[in-house]
Amino acid sequence: MTQEPIPQSKPTGSNMPWEESLRPAPDAPPRLWRLIALFWAAAVLLGLVHAWFGRYFVVSDIISYLDIADAYRLGDWHGAMNAYWSPLFCWLLSFCMLALQPSPYSEFPVVSFLALLIYLATLGCFHFFLSQLLRFYRTRTGDTTTAGEVRLPDWAWVMLGYSLFLWSSAQLIAWEIPPDMCVAAVVYLACGLLLRIRSGPAGWGTFALLGVVLGFGYLAKQAMFPLGFVFLGVSLFCRRAPRNMVKPMLAALGCFALVSAPFIVALSRATGRLTFGEAGRLNYAWHVNRVSIPHWQGGPPGSGKPKHPPRKISDDPPIYEFAAPIRGTYPLWLDPFYWYDGVQLHFDLWQQIRAFYGAALVYYDIFFGAASGLLAGFFILWSLRSGWARPRDAAYLELLIPALAAFGMYSLVHTEERYVGAFVVLLCLGAFSSLQWHASQVSEKCLTRVVIAAVLPILAATLVSTMREERDAAKCCAGNLAWEVASGLEKMGVRPGDRVALIGQGADASWARPARVRIVADTGAWDGYRFWTADPSVRDRAIKTFAGAGAEAIVAEDSNMEALPANWQRIGATNDYVYLLSK
């Protein structure tokens, strides 16, 4: 059916992007609404299931975010300024904790509830993005129909888009670290705004909103600061008359600076150097230059020396103390910038090749794993194509350029699936949108069948994998294990604010947060097994060293002992043990 061409009226500042943006075209068939409602129901159900079964589970990064959120809530601005952890999720956590006032037992479920809200907001942002993509192609249908070309119908785009969203959210980003989901929301919203600019008249208000969205993207994660300029650069080519882009671009840049600059200024003053964040530098040092984590004492050659490293107070067993000046549940992971101040980055060709190789493995697993069916479907459609779609008739440049920029940026440093989850969606949709077919060679029904055959495996794999993961989580995390350890320690006399030493590394000691204790020393590479199998004289020496460091208790995690050494007590029904030093 022939649609109306693009309106030729001049853009006005009143044409804002939220007008008619969250729904299909007025003449959309009821089955399209039903398909969208079905995907929304599946997405919400998956989010609820994950939030419920994962309500007592948090990854190590969340502990640092909670500590920083406490600093914001209590007005400790010095402790709140952090060069590694981005502030947006900390602000959201601080607001939730202030509004709900959860007990230590309920704190992790509140984090899970907030993660669910962020996921649902991301779902809404994706719907906005997909609606703009559909609207863009509906405005071009008239031109392509007269030329004898066919494109994917709306409901094929809906199936493709929502299947990719569910897969990337559940299997790539995986909900555990909400800041990555915040980035996904920003990416979808920004791409939706770019498509709206391409679809028709868009005034400076749309560009201003794009700048605001990208500014919040930087506050969600530092990697979005350079990528923000990529999105702004792409917006330059969304208009047919780039010479008229001065005012809109000034509006976008001004709003981007208005949102991001205050935190950059505050962070630069706190660190004593001009910076928008140190996460990129630290990750390059860790993953490319192979600087040790988290007890860096210097080296390898060319990496500099730490200005204030964690203090190594024993060699056998290795014991590190880090009680001051950084406070928090686990100081080494609360402010990595402080402990790695003095690190020097250097270029090494083989190290860089190794980083590229690691990124290539991640990308291979993504596209040749669960997405292999989707990849096969793309190549089938590619073999049937009549040519590549012209940039003016397709939206693939707005999708491919940011996606490829993100893939390239992360491959230089360190790549994880959760970092690129949203950009995988852009890459796939951009690749499909770059194809066009001639009506004499292939029918719209044939294209739709290929898309369905391509998305069903990835959709089924997502549902099965998610349910299996939640089943396993229900078995291993049936209760609040962190609270069991925390309450057990309290019953044994360990109080909030006490200093605790740890056999092992403290990054994964989630029990320390509800116990409100501070981990001030640990054994680094020595886990519970090595400690318990060591000579008794070595264990005695470790206990005396921990006591000299000011620890009031020693906790050994996951140490399933049949016979307990003297003065060690099992913490409740867990496999953790405690040695009380000053009780």
Confidence at residue 251, expressed as pLDDT on a 0 to 100 scale: 92
Strands laid side by side in the 387-388 sheet: 149-150, 435-438, 387-388
For 174-217, the pLDDT digits (tens) are 777 899 999 999 999 999 999 998 877 677 889 999 999 999 99
> Count of alpha carbons within 13 Å of 121, Cβ hemisphere only?
17
Confidence at residue 385, expressed as pLDDT on a 0 to 100 scale: 74
Confidence at residue 13, expressed as pLDDT on a 0 to 100 scale: 40
Confidence at residue 31, expressed as pLDDT on a 0 to 100 scale: 83
d(CA 376, CA 369): 12
Confidence at residue 18, expressed as pLDDT on a 0 to 100 scale: 43
d(CA 386, CA 383): 9
Q: Which amino acid makes up residue 45?
A: L
- Dihedral sign, CA of 185, 107, 85, 427? negative
Regions of the chain where pLDDT drops below 70: 1-29, 140-148, 201, 239-243, 386-394, 440-441, 472-479, 560-562, 583
**3-class SS at 425?**
helix
Q: Which residues of 559-578 are buried (b: 16+ CB within 10 A; e: fewer)?
A: beeeeeeeebeebeeeebbb
> Count of alpha carbons within 13 Å of 491, Cβ hemisphere only?
10
For 9-65, the pLDDT digits (tens) are 344 443 444 444 445 454 556 788 899 999 999 999 999 988 888 888 888 899 999
Q: Which residues contact 363 (CB under 8 A, 6 or more apart)?
A: 407, 411, 415
CA distances from 362 to 19, 359, 419 (A): 39, 5, 11
Confidence at residue 95, expressed as pLDDT on a 0 to 100 scale: 96
Q: Which residues of 8-33 are buried (b: 16+ CB within 10 A; e: fewer)?
A: eeebeeebebeeebeebeeeeeeebe
Confidence at residue 192, expressed as pLDDT on a 0 to 100 scale: 95
